[in-house]
Chains A and B, each alone.
Chain A
Amino acid sequence: MLSTKGQVLERLLKGEFICRTTDEEGWRFLKNPANREQVDDYLSQLNRTVAMVGGSTDSDVFFCGYRQLDDEERKVIAQQFRDTCNALAPLAEWLVLVQEAGAQDAPLTEGTPVRLNELQTIIEDTPAFREQLARISHYRLFNSNSNGVDGQLKQVFKRLCDLGYLTRPNPDKQIYLATGKLDHLYEVIRFIDETESLDLEARAETASQSNLL
């Protein structure tokens, strides 16, 4: 049997994100700075380090990053960044759809449950949501060629599980939990917003106010 440290190392080296939802034990382990240092020491032999979403010490999502960046690593990162950018629009649209269909104030964050059946009923009953889902599911990221809500939704959820944005704690139930990787996604958008001075929040605020008027 692997120790917690071993499990944490294994998950990190597999490229997984560790958060409270996906691996509570490992998350607790990494929250302790002394343990984190041990893991970091081990990873340093492989030119890797424990990276945190948000980059601060009170972060709740951990993943594995490079320690030193040479040409090879830069190439990998550039490719990943392109992939992430291509995934941003479909993911953002999906998050907004889930939030609006659930009539919730908050978009999905780590630990929020999503009940597939409830979502499906709401989407099936609302033509606007149906259209939105059809558009989202045909993005290359989700790559669905189904025409029905059922097939589209299942494919989207399956892909999101594969990509690590959702987990399904009980395979017998259609209840999914959002993982810490979504928090990473928000941070990416926030970063782009800040560095390119897009002023997205103010834009959304003005738009919603003009809608109200």
Chain B
Amino acid sequence: MITDIAPAPERVETRPTRPHGRRRAWDEVPRWHIYLPLSIYLLFTLIPFYWILLFALRPAGSTSLVPWPMTFDHFGKVWNERAFGTYFQNSVLVGIATLVMTTLVALAGGYALARFDFRIKKAFMLALLCTQFVPGALLLVPLFEIFANLRMINSLGSVIIAETVFQLPLSMILISGFIRNVPYSLEEAAWVDGCNRFTAFRIVVLPLLRPGLIAVGSFAFVHAWNHFLFALMFLSDQSKQTIPVGLNTLMSADSVDLGALAAGGIIAAVPVVIVFAFIQKWLITGFSAGAVKG
């Protein structure tokens, strides 16, 4: 008995052809179409940095376009004569303290926003967003009065608290987004295993938040590092001032020492560049994760 066997259906190529075509088209694009615009863009970005390096490294009065003969006199001047060593220490302290306080408080607030429902939650989120539209300069006088009543004028603590307060809303919103991305069932499983809420959070959720925490922490650090206004207004003693204020004192009413200013700018920029070089991988992951389900 012969049984007709239906022929096996032809294997249909299910993979869409377009991406392949696209890839081929992409491969056919001459390399210079990609590299030329990128190089031009890179030049625009890097030339100002080269200019700062040039002013910082060439001797005063030189008009050479290359930093040769090279001198480190400007760095010595700002570090030793213009107290940049002290400003640097203060900026590091303000930056790290702001980072720690912002991250800790934002973590607690962000967890509450992500995991609990409460009556004014939407209004609270809206209020957090609205605070982003208020410039710091508007709040200077009230903040000054508060710190004066607390006897905190001319203390680094005033700057740290003010910076933390201004960083918190955005940090809380971001961290609540990161926490929402962590499945709630993971925490529940930890509870079943005997953890309380805090321990479950610490052992299960916190390690998963690392990219987000790095993103928020570095954002807080860089903002505190660069911020000028609060340090200028709340600190008077030269031994307590920070790098942005120090940079401004290099520009007098009628004269600017460009070499010293460039050297001071490099001293101010290097820590931030180093921080970003180390954390950029987590930073991008962190911000994109927070952006998906904010």
* A and B are partners in one complex rather than unrelated chains: no
Interface residues of chain A, those whose CB is within 8 Å of chain B, are none
